[in-house]
Amino acid sequence: MNSLQQIELMEVEEIQSQETSFEITDINSLNWAFRKLAALQSKAKEIKQLANVERERIAEWEKSELSTIENSTSFFKSLIQKYHSEQLAADPKAKTISTPYGKSKTRKSNETPEKADEEQLLQYIIDNDLVDYIKQSVKWADVKKTFKIAEISGEKVVVDENGQLVPGVTVKPESISFSVEV
């Protein structure tokens, strides 16, 4: 903002403090109003630029402050998970460990069929006339209920109701997930 625009802003403040209202009556008063408007817009732009610089600086500060906290949080969560997994190995019923300041919980998910190759699976569905499970793509939630997990030659595979191997589907292994609540 230049010094002329600062003078325009002072005039705006002066006019707003007066009780009479200003009217545009000719080209000169119109020009005067445009000068005031340009000065106000320039001031607004200046304020926005300053605010953006400060926002960026604050965002960088926030990021650096939070990164150390996130690292420490991950460290403690991994210690809690390690301790809980040791307790779970010693006592399979120790699914939740509770203290006055938080809980460590485990959740077991059973092995289940998992889509590995959509195209192969779709071809299998078409070849075996399982059209009830076809829409634009395979109705995975419905069709996976009809599959079974079997072990063939020491390897777990997915088979259909007739014991036929289902291509494009793998076995997602059983897993235990940990969560920490504070």
Q: At residue 75, does pLDDT exceed 90?
A: yes
User: Which residue, 52, 74, 96, sits at the end of a domain?
Assistant: 74
User: Which residue, 25, 58, 74, sits at the end of a domain?
Assistant: 74
Percentage of the chain lying above the pLDDT 70 cut: 98
Four-CA torsion 163, 140, 106, 66, nearest 10 degrees? 150
Task: Specify the number of domains making up the chain.
Answer: 2
The stretch 97-111 carries a mean pLDDT of: 94
Percentage of the chain lying above the pLDDT 90 cut: 66
Query: How do residues 131-142 score in pLDDT, each as one tens digit?
Result: 888 876 788 899
Does residue 92 form part of some domain?
no
Residue 100's pLDDT is what?
Answer: 95
> pTM to 2 decimals?
0.48
Q: Which domain holds residue 48?
A: 3-74
Q: At residue 20, does pLDDT exceed 70?
A: no
Q: What is the largest distance, in Å, between two alpha-carbon atoms of the chain?
A: 96
